[in-house]
Amino acid sequence: MNERVKALVEKEPTKIFGPNLEQLLNSAGFYRQRKWHGLTDAEISAIEWRANETLDQYARHIEAKLKEKNA
């Protein structure tokens, strides 16, 4: 694909391809949605609730584990 077209696709793909953008980008190899990996029961159990920890802090630990697994 020439560089001008490639630049347009990356800059404003919806103007070029319309509502079927995701399918077109997938077939062209530009866009691949990664599969989401959740936590197993064992991984959730391994994240311990620590004394003096708020619910928000515990949620941050879970969030960090998910980010690590889906990086």
pLDDT digits (tens, 9 = 90+) for 12-64: 655 555 667 767 777 777 766 678 899 999 998 888 888 899 999 999 999 99
Return the biggest CA–CA distance within the chain. Answer: 59
Identify whether residues 61 and 45 lie together within a single domain. Answer: yes
Model confidence, pTM = 0.50
pLDDT at 29: 72
Identify whether residues 42 and 65 lie together within a single domain. Answer: yes
The one-letter code for the residue type at 56 is: D
Identify whether residues 69 and 43 lie together within a single domain. Answer: yes
As a whole number of angstroms, the distance between CA 66 and CA 68 comes to 5
pLDDT at 40: 92
**Burial of residue 15, with CB atoms counted within 10 A of its CB: 0-12 exposed, 13-18 middle, 19 or more buried:** exposed
Identify whether residues 21 and 45 lie together within a single domain. Answer: no
> DSSP code of 51?
T
Identify whether residues 2 and 29 lie together within a single domain. Answer: yes
Mean pLDDT score across all residues of the chain: 79
Domain of residue 47, residue span? 35-71
Task: Provide the percentage of residues in the chain whose pLDDT is more than 90.
Answer: 28
**Number of domains observed in the structure of the chain:** 2
Identify whether residues 39 and 56 lie together within a single domain. Answer: yes
pLDDT at 13: 55
